Structure 1
Amino acid sequence: MDDRNKTDGQGGERRPEESDAELQGRLRGLGGALDRVRAEKRAEAKPAEPDRTSTSAGMTLAFRLGSEFVAGVLVGAGIGWGIDRLFGTSPWGMIVFLLFGFGAAVANMLRAAGETGRTPPKGGR
């Protein structure tokens, strides 16, 4: 088979003066250069440390949301219990204000969760 009819793999014709030995030498040289560059990149790369800020920020938000929910329900129940004791309407005050406390707790949780996704406006306000 005649080597002059082979292409260089990129759509161009192989130059007749290049032999297979020369091409193999160039390939080894490029492989060595690539190995050196990869070794330099590995040496420059720092070991990855776990991102503790994202987990602590998530836990902070979770505790905040949980405490706001519990506080809203307890305040509503407390107000309802007080109204029941004051007016003798047991258990209706407790039921109504417990539901109001639940609604307020959910609204506070949504408000607090929405604050985390906002970026501060330009101008410092």
Structure 2
Amino acid sequence: MAEGTNDKGNGSRDKSSDEAALSARLGSLDRRLSEIQGSRKIGTDQSGNEQDAAQAKASAMAMGLRLSSELVAGVLVGAGLGWGFDRLLSTSPWGLIVFLLLGFTAGVINVMRTAGVMAKQSERL
């Protein structure tokens, strides 16, 4: 009977150590869940930032396409006018050369003007 009493005493000690281990595991699980929930909140906040970044990237791409089309349009109009004057006045290739250079210059000026206006608009935002 003495052995049974000792076993019973050890059993209660085992239960308290099991409860302590279970409590420690529960605390650890609670901390891990809190970390995961915190990272999910950060992840949703980042998705908003990612959307803003995607919009900014799309806006930058639109600005780049606009600026490049300004330059190309200036060069093509200059080349077209030069070719037309060469055909009318039989001054080939001088009209094309002069108006191509004028078109390039006009395209660069348009790009600089448009980029300056866009820079001022982006500062306002």
TM-score (norm 2): 0.60
Output the amino acid matched with 1:64: R
RMSD between superposed Cα atoms in Å: 2.6
Q: Which deviations, in whole Å up to 9, do the C-alpha atoms of 1:2-57 show, x marking residues without a partner?
A: xxxxxxxxxxxxxxxxxxxxxxxxxxxxxxxxx8xx95865653531222111000
Aligned to 2:42: 45
Aligned to 1:95: 97
Aligned to 2:21: none
For residues 64 and 76 of structure 1, the distance between their equivalents in structure 2, rounded to whole angstroms, comes to 18
Matched, 1:107 2:109: yes
* More helix, by proportion: 2
User: 1:117 deviation in Å?
Assistant: 1.2
For residues 68 and 119 of structure 1, the distance between their equivalents in structure 2, rounded to whole angstroms, comes to 18
For residues 121 and 114 of structure 2, the distance between their equivalents in structure 1, rounded to whole angstroms, comes to 14
Percent of aligned positions with the same letter in both sequences?
A: 45
Aligned residue for 1:84, secondary structure, equals: helix
Unaligned runs of 5+ residues in structure 1 are 1-34
Aligned to 1:83: 85
Alignment size in residue pairs: 88
Unaligned runs of 5+ residues in structure 2 are 1-30
Bigger radius of gyration, 1 or 2? 2
TM-score (norm 1): 0.60
The 5 A counterparts of 1:5-24 are: none
